[in-house]
Amino acid sequence: MSTSFTEAFKFYKRKCPFPELSGVVDPRDEKLREWLETRSVQTQPQNSSDFGLVPPETWTVHELRNHPGLLIIQNPFTSLGQRYWISRCLRDFPKAPHRTNLQTQKLPEEVHGDFWAFFCKAEEKASQKKLKSCLRWSTLGYHHDWDRKVYSEKEKNPFPEDLQGLTSFLGMILGFSDFRAQAAIVNFYPQGSTLAGHTDHSEVNLEAPLFSISFGQEAIFLIGGPSKDDPATPLRLHSGDVVVMSRESRLCYHAVPKILQGCEASWNAEMVYPEVLKNPLIDQDLWEKCTKGDFWQPFDQYLSDCRINLNIRQVLAGNATTL
């Protein structure tokens, strides 16, 4: 695992021959626990199930020993909790006022207006596959300018309150009680897609952590150092896993060189924890719909070969209200 970030990305990205995965750190594999340090969490009086999470005292949280500040929560979501947030990512977050890469493509007007409704109407697998390849990202709150790598007060919309509540809760449990969610990028990964190595440095506040939540197919997440010449560590992320980049890891290079096919569909697991919500921030109608097979079926089909990553960050410093 002493390979440079650049070389590691090339190695895990390759398709033929398929890369050897024995060097990938899977937090669920006890044989690889030498790379991980178990971290305790703070319990809170607020009901975790209000955001679709299992009780914090049952969470498994690790810190990567050779990348201080890189935290991994092993899927803290209930199966219905996963379904809710997956539905938000696919049904709601590609809609206006949020922005997507679809706006630059020549597609039917219906796709621009409601991507998910159009996807659900597509009956042929070829049509669904094409639509999957079209949607690659959506931005929420402060919209990131991909060309200039900046945020602007002129380019922002209200941040989703339920997502803000979720990340605030995660922050409290992990000791980041001051975290304020102000911008998010939802990345959509059809099978075969990657995310090149980069650092997240556009935010004014570079002390606040980044929260990265994975849903759907598993992926290899590569974390390096401040330079692409630094050694990199590959992590295997499962659906529901939460990665937090804090402290030293906040400005490290990271990437996704490969999506792995054939994961366990944990979003379809038996519902063990109470699923009755009392949270006014949660869309109660959507929550109820996620229990229905006919409503959930197209989401399940999408997840059969795709991954979703929800990356949330704080843009502003301290209690500032504008840039």
| Annotation: binding site for Fe cation | 198, 200, 254
Binding residues: 198, 200, 254
Distance CA 228, CA 224 (A): 7
How many Å separate Cα 76 from the centre of its chain? 13
Distance CA 155, CA 149 (A): 13
Output the DSSP codes for 73-91: E---B-HHHHHHHHHIIII
Q: Which two tokens stand for residue 112?
A: 């621009």
Which ranges of the chain would DSSP assign to H, the alpha helix?
Answer: 5-13, 79-87, 109-113, 115-121, 125-134, 161-174, 284-289, 293-303
| DSSP three-state, residue 11 | helix
Distance CA 166, CA 50 (A): 9
Q: Which two tokens stand for residue 295?
A: 């409503």
